[in-house]
Amino acid sequence: MSAPRMEVHAFGLRFANPVLTASGTFGYGSELAGSCPLTALGGLVTKGISLAPRAGNPEPRICETAAGMLNSIGLANVGLRAFLEEKLPFLRDCGTRVLVNFFGETEDDYLRCAEGLSGHGPGIDGLELNISCPNVKAGGLEFGVVPEVAGRLCERVRGATDLPLVVKLTPNVTDVVALARACVQGGASGLSLINTLRGMAIDARTRRPRLARVFGGLSGPAIKPVALRLVHEVARARLGVPIIGIGGIMSGEDAAEFLLAGATLVQVGTASFVRPDAAARVAEELLGYCAAQQVSDVSELTGALA
């Protein structure tokens, strides 16, 4: 058998393979390019960008947990202007697809940020609308738990940009399908799920929370079964847009599981903290899985759960 075809198409874009890096785990691309060959990836998703720079939450804002980690970064980033001036030039010629994650504290912030990220040509292939960060007072989850609110924001942002618009969903809701449907009705080109699960960690010896802000978002292999279930629920609803599966992917087989559950693409996040080249290794392992399973085209896996 010839080598499996790994290329996939989604949101009007061609991806060399289905494996992307997740926002907040791979900087703006340039920081990890020396450790992870970007051309081996299907794409990368940048750190979340806001109109103004943000310092994020007080430290400690990361801690390790059983089979995962908690973060309460608070969406620290360089802001739109510095992103365009200092980070975008590298991304223009980085050899892989780039989705820019972005967010706002108000609806108007989201709109202005989407507008500001549009019309720059190569370097920004699509946007990932973040309505699922559990670590900020304004914005984030405020827009991501009530379907009507999320749908209205998507509709307004859709009108502000011609770029593919993927909406990143939270698992911290009772009905993820209602939320997903509202986003698609609002014009989302795709859905990425899941963002982190709200959690906390305590140091029993000091009797103090391990994170300065007490609560954070749980990621890593500990959340993979939850993520698979939510991806599968949304896929079964057949909303007509591609899904990007995220949640504890450490290996090619993990990635295959998300594809079987209904995802077209996947993102690797926490694994990049263990090994900066984790996403490239996942892509290579997924190719090996396809060859071993006699899958001639990786797209065949999407939704192929028996």
Point out which residues bind ligand SIN (CB under 6 A).
24, 48, 71-75, 130, 132-133, 135, 195-196, 217
Q: Least Å distance between CB 171 and ligand SIN?
A: 11
Residues 87-119: b if buried by 16+ CB within 10 A, e if exposed:
bbebbeebebbbbbbbbbbeeebbbbbbebbee
8 A C-beta contact, residue 84 and residue 116 = yes
8 A C-beta contact, residue 255 and residue 282 = yes
Distance, CA of 245 to CA of 240 (rounded, Å): 15
Nearer to ligand SIN, 17 or 195 (CB): 195
Nearer to ligand SIN, 75 or 268 (CB): 75
Nearer to ligand SIN, 130 or 267 (CB): 130
Nearer to ligand SIN, 75 or 180 (CB): 75
8 A C-beta contact, residue 278 and residue 25 = no
Q: Least Å distance between CB 99 and ligand SIN?
A: 13
Q: Least Å distance between CB 45 and ligand SIN?
A: 11
Q: Could you tell me which residues come within 8 angstroms of residue 140 by beta carbon, excluding any fewer than 6 positions away?
A: 75, 103, 130, 131, 132, 133, 134
Distance, CA of 252 to CA of 152 (rounded, Å): 36
Tell which residue, 1, 47, 52, has the closest CA to residue 24: 47
Residue 302 structure tokens: 């999407």
CB neighbour class for 59 (10 Å; exposed up to 12, middle 13-18, buried from 19) = exposed
Q: Least Å distance between CB 253 and ligand SIN?
A: 25
- DSSP β-ladder status, 265-268 and 19-21: parallel
Concerning whether 133 is annotated as a catalytic residue, the answer is yes
Nearer to ligand SIN, 171 or 252 (CB): 171
Tell which residue, 48, 44, 47, has the closest CA to residue 15: 44
8 A C-beta contact, residue 290 and residue 6 = yes
User: Which candidate in 36, 94, 113, 133 is catalytic?
Assistant: 133
Q: Least Å distance between CB 234 and ligand SIN?
A: 18
Nearer to ligand SIN, 223 or 283 (CB): 223
Q: Least Å distance between CB 146 and ligand SIN?
A: 18
CA angle centred on 212, ends 209 and 215, rounded to 5°: 65
Annotated catalytic residues are: 133
